Structure 1
Amino acid sequence: MSDKVKLTSSHRVLIVALLAAGLACFLLVEPYINSIVMAFIISLLMFPIHEWIEKRMPKHANLASLLSCVVLTFIIVFPLLFVFAAIVQQGSTFSQNVYQWVTQGGIQTIFSHPWVVNGLSLINNYLPFDTISPQEIAQKVAQFATSFGSNLVGISAKILGDATSFLMDFFLMLFVLFFLLRDHDKLISAIRHILPLSRSQEDKLLDEVEQVAKSAVMGSFLTAIAQGFAGGIGMWLAGFPGLFWGTMMGFASFIPVVGTALIWIPAAIYLFLIGDTSWAIFLTVWSIVVVGSIDNLLRPLLMQGSAGMNTLMIFFSLLGGLQLFGLIGLIYGPIIFAVTMVLFNIYDEEFKEFLDRQNRS
């Protein structure tokens, strides 16, 4: 605080011009910001592998970065292609089975169950709704099943479009990742030079961003993978396509509050209504004890220790990030919270004497 810079009018003009130019640059890259951020985060995760490759070819920085990107492609793309093909195959088989089940009277079997009959009777007698007829519901379900084939064409086209968009974003991310890995030291030096902070404060800020970025990926995506894997095993044992519904449970785990229950509760109800009571109980117990414990134990464990963030702050950073930015907000939210906490700590250090004097007054 002792080294003060006296701002002149030319300094102020320069700062305003720099802010305006920075905003213009941000607007230029905003459509690609998610790919850039993901490249930054993956570079942190990939850096140990890249460092190992770089040590074996110290005079070939471009080739080392290219090999690191190729390794990442093999780690991510090829397993995803295999899983995607299996999901499409299992999903297609499942949709055909559902169509046959509906057209062969399966829905009537459900509506003849005593619990369903009593439930509909209660709704029709006591709740202020129009009378709900099982025949009308069965007719609607049959119509949906009949049109599902044509709908599947549109769904497949959308999936293909999403896959194409994913590949474009992935290769853009690889392009950015190549330069981040190759010029890692230069970029860190440039950031340190620009930040108007002491070396210890810069270390604290950069280390925290790195730690939280890693923990956000580990905490959110590894938890989703673990829950999807465990949930897929439970669904497979209960007689459902394991890979397809395990993947659906993995995606559902990103939804706050509801999570994987969005998948396993309807599945357990279906098993109960068709008479597979033992499997319905098994799936319920498995999902609560095994799948639920993964979310309750693994996610907080992987995301603890970041800038003093407790479980409540982690929860709101994930919830708010998801609401504000979408799926990528599971990474943005914790990083924003962590940087804010670090800046508060720096503020506390810089103004410690003033704050102590205020407390004594």
Structure 2
Amino acid sequence: MKSTAVEQKTFLLLLVGVTLAFGWILFPYYGAIFWAAILAMLFRPVFRWLVKRFKGRANLAALCTLCLVLVIVILPTAFITASLVQEGSAIYQKLQSGEINIGRYVQQIFDHVPSWVMGLMERFGVGDMGALQAKLMAALNEGSRNLATSAINFGQNTFDFLVGFAIMLYLLFFLIRDGRDVSLMIRDAIPLEERHKHKLLGKFTTVIRATVKGNIAVAVAQGAIGGITFFFLGIHGAVLWGVLMALLSLLPAIGAGLVWGPVAIYFLATGAVAKALVLVFVGVFVIGLVDNILRPLLVGKDTKLPDYIVLISTIGGMALFGLNGFVIGPVIAAMFISTWDIFASSRDDARMNPPDAVTLEPPPADPSTTRR
């Protein structure tokens, strides 16, 4: 008995050790593996349809599905990324040459500040406009340079990107073809009750599909509308600001407004009232309408998570995991809620259905003592 217990503990320790070691090996390319699994999950219905059309030829169906992923997802993303890097480099060069002078824009805003606003700011102890202007200009210049240099650095890390991209494509083919077998193997290996596994894995799949499809649809719509609006208003770097709005729109309710809001304030402060009104109208009634209509339909309806949970988990996920966090954060939040719900329901079941009480029965009578 003691030998068996020691062997079990040793095996569990070995299992944990090799699992952590394998995760450590895969960690440098976890992003490629993560998105390969997500894309395989999203395009699984297409693969099943193609298998039926090709009369069971899974390899051909997986190859066609992979080509479809390239055309629909990867090529447009690569085109937008190349445009972003090019435009970020151009803006950085204009900042270096002085063609774009953020300090001049800040000065224009302060020149149009009303006197009553100046008096109010002096009352609250921020009346030193020179020092305040210097701090704002330094912060804006630093932020703009960081944004531009980040785009340049992203373009320079070509080798790592190509390696990760090749790993993702290679793995994506096999996950599309063998994804069902892999998921069943993982499901069988999880040491939980069948009903709990069904609930958790179902929630996991639902949240990933809803988060990716919903958030990406909202981000693309808001980024495209914002970028086109900036282009027609004559704002430099329309593609760059459109992509930034798309990325920030991953944050529910507050995302894209962090870009078009300050620009609208600048237009209003410098006397370009018509441009400010156009931008506010588009931001509130078009971009905001996309967020208020599409996001609840595509994300909240399926995940059944409150908006504040989605917001906090998205921000926290992106702070920890970067861009991948807009999926990882809500998934962890959904699994957290589901796990505690299972725990609470299990305790309720235990209270409602207690184990049967042990009844003490009298011992059977001795036949030799019974009366005849």
Residue 311 of structure 1 is matched in structure 2 by: 307
- How far, CA to CA, are the matches of 1:152 and 1:251 in structure 2? 13
Match of 1:174 among 136, 151, 169: 169
Residue 68 of structure 2 is matched in structure 1 by: 71
Give the number of equivalent residue pairs: 344
Residue 346 of structure 1 is matched in structure 2 by: 342
Residue 36 of structure 1 is matched in structure 2 by: 33
State the SS of the aligned residue for 2:186.
helix
Asked if 1:206 is matched to 2:201, the reply is yes
TM-score by length of 1: 0.78
Alignment of 1:1-361 (within 5 A): 8-58=5-55, 60-87=57-84, 99-100=98-99, 102=101, 110=108, 113-115=111-113, 127=125, 132=130, 157-162=152-157, 164-240=159-235, 242-254=238-250, 258-306=254-302, 308-356=304-352
* Deviation readout 1:135-192 (Å, 9 max, x if unpaired): x96xx79xx79xx8xx999666413125554443232222221221121232122123
Looking at CA atoms only, which structure, 1 or 2, has the larger radius of gyration?
2
Asked if structure 2 preserves the Cα contact closer than 8 Å seen for 1:39 and 1:174, the reply is yes
* Deviation readout 1:10-29 (Å, 9 max, x if unpaired): 22222222122212222221
1:279 partner letter: K
Question: CA distance change for structure 1 residues 154 and 36 in 2, over 3 Å: closer, same or farther?
Answer: closer
Residue 4 of structure 1 is matched in structure 2 by: none
- How far, CA to CA, are the matches of 1:311 and 1:152 in structure 2? 29
1:33 partner letter: Y
1:292 partner letter: G
Offset, 1:211:
0.7
1:354 partner letter: A
Question: CA distance change for structure 1 residues 300 and 259 in 2, over 3 Å: closer, same or farther?
Answer: same
2:174 partner letter: F
Greater CA drift, 240-249 or 286-295: 240-249
Offset, 1:213:
0.6
Residue 3 of structure 1 is matched in structure 2 by: none
Greater CA drift, 258-267 or 19-28: 258-267
Q: Which runs of 5+ in 1 are unaligned?
A: 1-6
State the SS of the aligned residue for 1:115.
coil
Offset, 1:257:
6.8
TM-score by length of 2: 0.76
Q: Which runs of 5+ in 2 are unaligned?
A: 355-372
Of all paired residues, the percent bearing the same amino acid is 29
- How far, CA to CA, are the matches of 2:343 and 2:283 in structure 1? 45
- How far, CA to CA, are the matches of 1:357 and 1:200 in structure 2? 18
Question: CA distance change for structure 1 residues 355 and 321 in 2, over 3 Å: closer, same or farther?
Answer: farther
- How far, CA to CA, are the matches of 1:311 and 1:108 in structure 2? 35
State the SS of the aligned residue for 1:183.
helix
* Deviation readout 1:178-217 (Å, 9 max, x if unpaired): 2211212321221232123344433322222111110111
- How far, CA to CA, are the matches of 1:317 and 1:16 in structure 2? 32
State the SS of the aligned residue for 1:309.
coil
